[in-house]
Amino acid sequence: MSEQPKGLKFTDQAKAIVLENLDNEHFGVSELAAAMHMSRSNLLRKCKKQTQLSASQFIRQIRLEEAMELLKETDLTVSEVSYRVGFGSTSYFIKCFREHYGHPPGEVNKPGFEPSVQIAENRTVGQRYKWSLVAAAILVLLGLGYILMPNSPTPIPSEKAIVEKSIAVLPFKNESSDSTNLYFVNGLMEASLGNLQKIEELRVISRTSVEKYRHSDKNIGEIASELNVNYIVEGSGQKIGDQVLLNIQLIDAATDTRVWGEQYTYGLVDVFALQNEVAKKIADAIEAKITPSELEQIDKKPTDNLVAYDYFLQAQEPFNRQTIEGLLEAIPFFEKAVGEDPQFALAYADLAIAYYYLDLYKKEKQYTETINNYADKALLHDSKLTESLIAKALYYEHIGEYRLAVPHLEKALEYNPNASGVVNMLSSLYANSLPDTGKYLEYALKGIQLDIASNDSIGKSYIYLHLSNALIQSGFTEEALTYIQKSSAYYPDNYYAPYLRAYILYARDKDIEQTLKLVKAELQKDSTRLDILQEVAKLHYFQKEFDSAYPYYKAFDDIRRTQGLYIYPQEDIKIGVTFEQMGFQEEADRLFTSYTEYCENDQSIYQPASMAVKYAHEGKLDQAIAELKKFSTKNHFQYWIILFMKLDPALQPLEVHPEYKAVMQKIEERFWENHDRLKKTLEEKGLL
């Protein structure tokens, strides 16, 4: 083992090694320890002592500092910079950058910009307790407990091996000296990828997974191995006046040989014919069958207006950032696009989607009619476009008509069987808005079959997180634990995996003190997380430690109110009971009123259970039992009901009722009957 260089400070040496591996997203604490010839624990101690940062924070800080320099000194986009400095996800890069510098990376080169590091203590209350928009917000745990483990473990679905016709379309290179042409070349790549994704026989890697290879020095074999594909598409292009020049080739990754390649020179007016030609030639080269309906979708022009299309392409980079700033930057380009072509369905759909995300989690919605108007226009001009159907589904989610969203998503899957995003939307709907743990698990399993090979390590981590959550909600405890461990292994910094793991361990061990300790550890990592804040409070509440629950619930309730957020309304009775126990009756009454409104508006299968809690707290025991009897007839409710119901102090007045034990036993038996039927059904469908 070689010695460390003499006279070189620990921090300087560590930084130099990180910089050497800057674009490697997998280079973390273990890799740094190995490169410095020291144990991981020694590295952690030394790093903490000399930098007051954890090793992972130290590495991230170096990445972010380099990102700032690249943003200031180059013309690279935010997305390009994020991959240059080793972030596998642009949205996660933007989140980290904003937390470190106090502003998003997109503002760096704007007039009047002054760099500064944002100190947590200087943030406003609202900034400190931000509400995460990450999809893993599905982990809303219903605090209602008994335990009965499944008798035998269910077989674990294996990851799909490399499929015969799997393709990654690498980012095209801009051959023009004019960097402003980059968005156009990116548009050629996006269109080629999109057309290939319409062919069911192919498995095509997502744009986000290939973006990190834009400036990579890795060879074709290495890239193909990392993406789990056996074909790579490379391209370069430029726009010169009214001409488009495109060089493209299809490479067999196993032999690193060209299977097909051509050089194209097309007039701008024929750009769509060029995009369609490329997809057909690639499919033909690897003998992928294109059905008539798929051919119809490939041959369809998004617009006949090239000015409109140009505006649409300019919107894509900020739109794909998935940030508020990016959406606000993209919307004017989409509006100019539909102004040029009032029949541009894809631009209308993206407008609806952009406004939906601007309004997401806002208690007071601003864009309801805007979303509906753009979604309807998208459907009017192309009712078979996946994005049109998604836009309308999101409108129905926006107004709370979740059942009306389902047929639009199911129709989108008919037209685009590879639309893993649609499968994930259906999975999330059945996890939250239309609670059905059976359908949730079925779609989560379908999603992993469609999408797992298409993702980088961060993508895999969140897919496994999603599946683990679906498994535990249906009572598959050991299987859920297996997948949450996979989630953490692929991405140790996954925000939500330790949180979910804490509850899966509770399902296995029934140790609430252990759960509380693990959840509090997550809150210490990031005190801005409202989800964890209310979970810590709830675990104290379940143990009737109201004085310990109160400060957490108080902070959660204050931020929720000041920010106008409509989140966790089902928890209001727990917060109210805690406030009542602490002597704050006026505040408690406000929360009891809010909870009553929630119960009255709830159309889910959980409504009778929620009403039972309300009546039990009010001392109306017969009415509470009647509601529990209604609930005992429901199917596919979450395992958390079985695990936590008996711990809820608001329900405990029912323990003296002569029918209480029998109805609780019936609820438990109903759950396991559903569990056994679901297991059999999924096995018959080949999903388990």
HEC letters along 7-58 = CCCHHHHHHHHHHHCCCCCCCCHHHHHHHCCCCHHHHHHHHHHHHCCCHHHH
pLDDT at 349: 97
Say whether both 310 and 280 belong to one domain.
no
- What is the reported pLDDT for 456? 56
CA 476 to chain centre: 22
pLDDT at 536: 96
Residue 50: which CATH number? Answer: 1.10.10.60
Same domain, 170 and 293: yes
Q: Is residue 42 part of a domain?
A: yes
What is the structure's pLDDT at 521? 92
Residues 280 and 343 in one domain: no
Do both 313 and 251 map to the same domain? no
pLDDT value at position 595?
Answer: 95
* pLDDT the model gives residue 655: 93
Does residue 268 share a domain with residue 194?
yes
Question: Is 405 inside any structural domain?
Answer: yes
In a domain, 500, yes or no: no
Look at residue 136 in the predicted model and tell me its pLDDT: 31
Task: Give the pLDDT of residue 268.
Answer: 65
Domain extent for 238 = 166-299
Domain end marker among 284, 299, 314:
299
**Are residues 327 and 285 both part of a single domain?**
no
Q: Are the beta carbons of 240 and 178 closer than 8 angstroms?
A: no
The domain that holds 406 is classified in CATH as: 1.25.40.10
Same domain, 295 and 170: yes
Note whether residue 189 is domain-resident: yes
Residues 406, 293 share a domain: no
pLDDT at 91: 64
If asked whether residues 228 and 340 sit together in one domain, one would say no
Tell me phi and psi for residue 681, to 5 degrees: -65, -45
- 256 within domain boundaries: yes
Q: Are residues 292 and 316 in the same domain?
A: no
- Compute mean pLDDT per 10 residues along the chain, 688 residues long, and list them: 49 86 80 82 78 80 89 81 79 75 76 42 29 32 26 32 68 70 69 72 72 80 82 83 80 85 72 77 82 76 86 86 87 96 96 93 86 97 93 93 92 77 83 84 76 60 87 94 92 87 96 95 87 94 96 94 86 96 95 94 90 96 97 93 94 95 96 93 79
Is residue 177 domain-shared with residue 290, that is, in the same domain?
A: yes
Q: Are 22 and 10 in contact (CB under 8 A)?
A: no
**Residue from 320, 382, 408 nearest 357 by CA:** 320
Indicate the residue among 267, 299, 331 that finishes a domain. 299
Assigned domain for 251 exists: yes
Is residue 376 in a domain? yes
In a domain, 58, yes or no: yes
State whether 180 and 289 are in the same domain.
yes
Domain end point (choices 110, 141, 176): 110
Predicted local confidence at residue 162, as pLDDT: 41
As for how many domains the chain has, the answer is: 3
Q: What is residue 2's predicted lDDT score, i.e. its pLDDT?
A: 38
